[in-house]
Amino acid sequence: MQRNYYSLLIQRFIRPLKFSCMSASSGKRKVKNPRISKVSLPTVPLVQKKRKFAEFVENPIIMDKAEGEKKSCIGKVVYLANPVKSQNDKKEYRTLLLPNGMRVLLISDPNISETEPDLDSSKGVDNMAYSSAEEEESEAEGSDEEGENDDCGEEEDGSEGETDEESEPDPDSTESNGRDSGLTRKSKQLSKDGERMAAAALCVNIGSFSDPPDLPGLAHFLEHMVFMGSKKYPIENAFDEFLKTYGGSSNASTDYETTTFEFEIHQRYFHQALAIFAEFFASPLLLPCSMKREKEAIDSEFQMALPSDSCRKQQLFASLAKDGHPMTNFTWGNSSTLNLAGDPEGVKLNQRLRLFWQEHYTADRMTLVLQSKHDLNQLEEWATSIFQGIPSISDQPAIPPSFKELGFPFDTLRFKRVIKIVPVKDVHQLCLSWALPSQLEHYRVKPLGYISWLIGHEGRGSLLAYLRQKVWALDLASGNDESGSDHNSTYALFSINISLTERGMAEIEQVIGAVFQYINMLKIQGPDERIWREIQTIEDLSFRYAEDSPPVENVEALSEHMHKYSPVDYITGDTLVFDFYPDVISKCINALQMDNVNIMILSKDFESLNICNQVEPWFQTRYEAKDIPDEWKQKWSKIVEEESLFAIPDPNPFLASDFSLLEPPSATTVSSVPAKVDCFESGFFLWYRPDSKFRIPKAVLNFYLVTPIAVDSARNAVLLELLAKMLKHQLMEKVYDALVAQLELAIHHYDRGLVIKVSGFNHKLHLLISAVVEQFVKFEQNVVVEVFDALRGQQEKAYRNFCIKPTKLVTDARLALLHTTHWSILEKSEAVKSLTLNDLKLFSTRLKESFDLKCLVQGNYSKEQALEVALDFKTKLQEKGRLDDHALPPIRICQVPLGNKYCRIASFHPSDFNSVAVSYYQVGPTNMRQTAVMEILVNLMEEPVFDILRTREQLGYNVYATLRNTFGVLGFSITVDFQADKFSASHVDERIEAFLNQFNLNLKAMTEDDLQTRVQSLIKLKQVPDVSLDEEVSRNWNEILSEEYLFDRLQQEIEQLPLVSLDEIRSFFQQYGLAFKGSERRKLSMQVIGNSKQNEDHSLEEDSKTKLRFLAEDGKEVDFIHDLSELRRTSVIFPPLKTFNGLPPTANV
């Protein structure tokens, strides 16, 4: 599998070191790089005096500097070349160079329509606790709320949920089919009245490479501090509250050579947000009181990263660079590194932080991207008037720091070695890495992309096909992901990462030999223009028919591109392949030698062998580094000389050539939601919607094979997962060309069966579907015992790895308590051990005999085509007919008893302090009105829960509230990730309860106007149109998976939200959220406790039956649960809230 613009599978193995900062208003938006733990921006206090939002002052800010002075430059705007765009891109672009040296890219999307809420713009801003410093002095004299007081450090993050750094698929399916999710539920409403968000990003050409040697992590620290108030707008949490009130969010990240900040907001408030945003870079406060708390936040971020194998591996890799090179820096920062000797109050640190900002955060090192519905002239006026106040260091353009003079970082003996690593997870991984000269100047050639395309190929004659045939490997990823840690001004990394089987681990020398034999074939054949042309064609097609990405993601990427590419290539630079230069490609291929490779091997086996006695100082990673044995090199040389087993790929038969579009349906006949198609086939249900909006030659076909045998036992639940993995494994060599040709295939287990999804250019999509069906029909004949054993072993490890993540274990345990047919990870971990190949064959046969098929087809397909393909899919899989007498068991949820129940479990990680407490408050069977009330309630709770528990009390790094719809049962939860060596679970639980009481006071102080501001913001958020066909399909598909079929759910929610009164919210919260005599509160506190220094080890033993260790607390009258089946035995069980056979009436297409 190729990396970067071809594929990102390699991110399973190694992640770039890029820190992210997310605000409490960010909801659940994933950061671009899932390796990074999240931080956030300042939050709002519970009760604030209202202030008027002052008129924006455009006077430039002048800051003192020890060695000079930042100057606001006055002059003319220079117009640069506009970027090349796709012919289907309807947005307009303009590129500017401001007088202060800042480069700006303006993006106008004239196709956006807007419906304003019933809310006056100025009134909405007046309701904000936001004022300029000038107004504050005149209107709020004597107030102790704002300015440099004890509350000035209210800070960050509301990013919720944990990020799985390894991006390994969870071996379970989450509740409510993915809708036990974030409070605001940023689903997009396909509506003529909707609008996309406006967004802005600013990227500074400075990053962790510029950390001073005595202050590791300073660049990351400054990224945290920038948004914490400015001279003009000193209330450090007000920007985040302003964004949140109008549906927005903010984020930031630190890479090696860049730091990026971005935000999104409703169109109407974009101008105001830009004015506030700009002041953070013109005159950030950087207050000492904020620093103290931010150091704690950064330390917590680092503590949460300690168990991450990707982070541990990355830091160890950095230590292989030559001494004195910034690559060796500890870029995370923690409470130790961000302290200076003899500086207990942080005075010197504050001075150093200011100097770092003054030296590096200058306008001529910044790029800015603005995207909104406004025309280019309006955007230009805003950019020039608002951002010209960001000063430059002098009248001359700033020269970004250059690290090239430091030389090549990895020309060291310690790099060219074999390093054995003891990982946290139970894995066998091989990583071969070569450090090459920087390839940034060759972005139009992309030589590493060409090499990755071939080495990462999975079709016939490929390296991975051979390794799979030998059952030495299951996955392979190669390339360079273009992040700062993989590609910067000093070097370019090329890596080959292989997921090994037990057999491959035993034959690792042979595996590496096969890699070098494949590389040698590429050297002998040289760059192939036919291959290059195919790559170019595929990338051109992908670019031409690319669907829009969310504006905030678009501006973030483009602001970073502006530091890498010329203006005409801002959009195309990271995507298209322009020039075929064989010499440039050959130079990179020839650099992949045996004598300059770094080999990292990760295996839990090394732990028992007791050979890894070296320790990396920051993450405490145990490893052994030795020279590559001569006998290995000799063996590889012999393998290379043998007759090659490999071949370059044949011409791709799946490349589309017909991009014609069906006639668009008339607005009067087409339904705005998928309609059920009439068909008398037993056990067959099809929903169809033609593409009347995006008008691209693509289609999406989703199939759900629903069967009662899927989860009637833990054994069958595991077999379903193995079936999905084995089917994908069998298919990959045959269909990899289709995936390369921009078609997509996903096969995975779900609550009640198997999901198969295909999508992409519709011209040859039927070929991919046919290949899948053909392989599935012959599944039992083609499966082999060696591959089954390898995949079964991998699945067993996946279950063990799942258990060591507290945030995953706590969710699994909660579902096991509440869901009457949920099979826990530990139950599946036990069941997988005894499974045989014959079990899988029998299960596959029974599934095909018993499934009902539910399909959704959308895009450039006619109704007749959709019906034909879907029926053909079912009839071929059920050639012998379908068993009729089978009933799907209903999903049943246990009612939490009145009062408080606690379930406290010890972590399985022997040396991890990380813990999690989730207080879940169950309401009962949901309806649309209660959902609206709960959504508003959790939205109102989001800011203060973060502000109090995270900002003020520093309980943990991630603190957030969540709306939960657990298979039709409504509730909400408050989650706190914390460290067991800092706080006890009881203390965290007490503080959550104290917050709820404080939040009740907050509701009492709220006005109807305050409520309507939030309600209108939620409505606007739900009216944001889908940005792509995939997004619309995903929304509709979730309705089918959940068996609810409310395709107009968002519209129904929009109709309900304005009807909710403040009294209704207050009453609802008091009834279900507060503990008092006569209340109906049903609380279930789920806690997974890390192993502090005092706790005994409770590591996961591979050869013994794994058991949960339930904890309790002596001397307290608390009702602790000691068995995950307790509620099933003792509690009321709700009646079935969903019926898997109850379908809505047929609609006309």
The set of catalytic residues is: 223
Strand pairing partners for 706?
753, 852
Sheet with 675-676, strands from edge to edge, namely 675-676, 684-690, 852-859, 698-706, 753-761, 744-750
Strand pairing partners for 925?
969
Burial class (CB in 10 A: 0-12, 13-18, 19+), 1143: middle
- Name the residue among 698, 914, 706, 888 with its Cα closest to residue 804: 914
CA dihedral 1044, 1047, 1051, 1056 (to 10 degrees): -10
Cβ(1124)–Cβ(714) below 8 Å: no
3-state secondary structure of 306: coil
- Name the residue among 157, 149, 148 with its Cα closest to residue 297: 157
Burial class (CB in 10 A: 0-12, 13-18, 19+), 785: exposed
- Name the residue among 390, 393, 398, 402 with its Cα closest to residue 365: 398
- Name the residue among 1095, 1047, 700, 728 with its Cα closest to residue 858: 700
Distance of CA 437 to the CA centre of its chain: 30
The maximal CA–CA distance of the chain, rounded, in angstroms, is: 85
Cβ(434)–Cβ(592) below 8 Å: yes
3-state secondary structure of 903: strand
Strand pairing partners for 914?
979
3-class secondary structure per residue, 50-97: CECCCCCCCCCCCCEECCEECECCCCCCEEECCCCCCCCCCCEEEEEE
Cβ(276)–Cβ(263) below 8 Å: no
Query: What CA–CA distance (Å, rounded) separates 475 from 813?
Result: 30
Query: What CA–CA distance (Å, rounded) separates 937 from 934?
Result: 5
Q: What is the DSSP string of 701-755?
A: EEEEEE-TTTTSSHHHHHHHHHHHHHHHHHHHHHHHHHHHTT-EEEEEEETTEEE
Q: What is the DSSP letter of 322?
A: P
Sorted by sequence, the CB contacts under 8 Å of residue 1035 that are 6+ apart come out as 187, 188, 190, 1026, 1050
Q: What counts of helices (H) and strands (E) characterise the chain?
A: 33, 30
Cβ(908)–Cβ(1093) below 8 Å: no
- Single-letter amino acid code for the residue at 233: Y
Q: Tokens representing 355?
A: 């100097």
Q: Tokens representing 148?
A: 């440099």
Query: What CA–CA distance (Å, rounded) separates 1026 from 968?
Result: 25
In angstroms, what CA-CA distances link 233 with 36, 39, 203, 272, 1046? 29, 21, 21, 12, 44
Contacts of 841-844 with C-beta under 8 Å, sequence gap 24+, read 841/779, 841/780, 841/783, 843/709, 843/716, 843/719, 843/720, 843/723, 844/723, 844/779, 844/780
Cβ(935)–Cβ(1056) below 8 Å: no
Query: What CA–CA distance (Å, rounded) separates 366 from 386?
Result: 14
